[in-house]
Amino acid sequence: MEGSLIQLNDLPDEILLIILKKLDNIEVLYSFIGVNKQLDQLVHGSIFTKCLTMGRRSTDSYYRLNGSVFERFCSQILPKIHHKVEWLNLESSTMKDILLCTSYPNLYGLGLYNINKEYAFHIFTAYWCQLRFQNPPTISSSTLLEVHVRLECFVVCLYLLDGRFDQLQRLSVNIHKIASPQIIIDNKKQIPNLKLFSLHCRWGTDKYSELIVPLLHRMFNLVELDLRLVMFDEKRFIDGYDLKYNIINHLLRLNKFVFNISSHLPLNDQISLSSNEDCQLSFKDVQDNKVISYVDYFSDCKRGQCHIYSYPYQGKRYQSITNNFSYGLFESVREVSLFDERPLEHEFFVKIAKSFSFIEKLTVYNKKSTEE
């Protein structure tokens, strides 16, 4: 080996490059990075670092790297060349370790192998919000009036409302996850021109007081507001008193408030718990539109839930319906889920069938047998 290295050292860079190009980029980096200054400089070039295939290909299969090779790439090689990597080809069993072992500020492409749809969705929804903007987006407009957008993370919503679209009047956001941003953003600037705001999120969040309420306070000229949210809190439900104190009293021009909010709390031997009647009473001074509310407590799983919504119901899904459900017409709903720790009797299903005439999907979570 020593003799072959001496021969390589005697060769000019042009000849060395011709030889190294005959090899796989992974082999080049693993074998020659750190050997000597000349080879180190050559293998750090974009020819060998720009696109990396982190596995072994055969005719119809894709295999992970050898254990020691893989460990060295994650611990030493990738952190050294991370800023030069623009494309990664990965296989499912190692992609998480490779993506999280360092940052890739110039990465623009991923090739994924031996990966199913469910795992890909898990990886990119669980870790997407950990990605950070190295340089905040610079796009702006003084003429844009209306935006409808689907987002993965709340941080992008904050960017949209940091002043770069200062004439924006209508914003509709359907967001995957509401979590605290890991970067500092100007989220205190007033948003005087926004007249309509819609925020929909199916995943639960515990950031109601920290993120959602302060954001709404900046929109002091709102005329229409639409909230569809799932909340988690240790101490309280979101009810009419909360909506009035935290939202309505701060939006003096608000003319239309549509909401569908489900809040959940753990049961920890609380002395006082809100009832169905308490929740409905909390809306007596909120608005003229009809409001439906349900409060349920589940002793087996030690949690409580409160569902409040303005009627008529406008969503396509109605989740976690219990025996407390009364009746209504829900023409927009296509998916329904039922949940209770008490038995779901025949009369209950008749009520569901009459209320949801256009249902396409029904899911039932109930382990109790019906009464004879």
Give the model confidence (pLDDT) of 350-364 as tens digits: 999 999 999 999 999
Given a cut of 90, is residue 7 above it in pLDDT?
no
Strand partners, 246: none
**Is 74 contained in some domain?**
yes
Domain boundary pick from 265, 285, 316: 265
* Residues 156, 124 share a domain: no
Which residue type, as a one-letter code, is found at position 71? E
Query: For 284-343, how does the pLDDT look when each residue is reduced to its tens digit (9 = 90+)?
Result: 887 667 899 999 999 888 899 999 999 999 899 999 999 999 888 999 999 999 999 999
Q: Are 342 and 296 spatial neighbours (Cβ–Cβ below 8 Å)?
A: no
The residue that leads in pLDDT, 125 or 99, is 99
Q: What is the pTM of this model?
A: 0.65
Average pLDDT over residues 26-49: 85
Beta strand pairing call for 256-266 and 303-311: antiparallel
Strand partners, 113: 91
DSSP state of 128: G
Domain boundary pick from 130, 157, 183: 130
Residue 242: domain span: 146-265
Given a cut of 90, is residue 268 above it in pLDDT?
no
Candidates 99, 35, 95; CA nearest to 65 is 95
* Residues 97, 12 share a domain: yes
DSSP state of 134: S
- CA 305/CA 295 separation, integer angstroms: 6
Domain boundary pick from 215, 246, 265: 265
Q: What is the pLDDT of residue 271?
A: 67
Candidates 297, 298, 295; CA nearest to 262 is 295
Candidates 359, 317, 282; CA nearest to 201 is 317
- For residue 96, give Cα distances in angstroms to 74, 123, 326: 11, 7, 47
Q: What is the pLDDT of residue 1?
A: 44
**Is 13 contained in some domain?**
yes
* Residues 150, 67 share a domain: no
- CA 261/CA 278 separation, integer angstroms: 16
* Residues 233, 187 share a domain: yes
**Domains held by the chain: number:** 2
Average pLDDT over residues 119-134: 54
* Residues 103, 25 share a domain: yes
Candidates 112, 111, 103; CA nearest to 133 is 103
